[in-house]
């Protein structure tokens, strides 16, 4: 079953602007991850935030997690045309199998 729900489904911005995507989930989690998928390709892991963390940074990426609201956000600062892709959140329940549940994704278009 799909746990993560991303919002918005699509986002269109100009180069240099910030892009914010949100993810909500339903059950308790061990961690939440964000992945990027360029058109027609496989997914690439971007960042992981554990359930006991509230914020994490990686380069131009900032992820927040609010476990009380069961939600996360991904902020991409100073976006570039190369950031154009689909972005997915994925939640992990905590087994050693590493099983993830993915959301439906947000399509980000960055115009030069």
Residues 20-79 that bind other proteins (CB under 8 A): 30-31, 33, 35, 40-45, 48
105 phi-psi bin (left φ>0, alpha ψ -120 to 50, beta other):
left
Question: Binding to other proteins by residue 14, rule CB under 8 A?
Answer: no
Eight-state DSSP code of residue 83: G
* Options 2, 18, 27, 58; binder of other proteins; rule CB under 8 A: 2
Q: Count of residues binding other proteins (CB under 8 A)? A: 27
Record the tokens describing residue 87, joined without a space: 């972005």
Distance between CA 53 and CA 65 in Å, rounded? Answer: 7
Interface ranges with other proteins (CB under 8 A): 1-2, 4, 30-31, 33, 35, 40-45, 48, 88, 90, 92, 96-105
């Amino acid at each position: 079953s799909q746990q993560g729900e991303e919002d918005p489904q699509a986002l269109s911005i100009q180069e240099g602007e910030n892009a914010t995507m949100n993810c909500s989930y339903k059950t308790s989690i061990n961690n939440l991850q964000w992945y990027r998928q360029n058109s027609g390709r496989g997914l690439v892991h971007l960042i992981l935030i554990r359930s006991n963390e509230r914020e994490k940074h990686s380069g131009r990426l900032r992820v927040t997690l609010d476990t009380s609201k069961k939600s996360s956000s991904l902020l991409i600062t100073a976006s570039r045309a190369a950031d154009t892709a689909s972005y997915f959140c994925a939640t992990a329940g905590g087994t050693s199998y590493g099983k993830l549940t993915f959301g439906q994704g947000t399509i980000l278009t960055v115009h030069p």
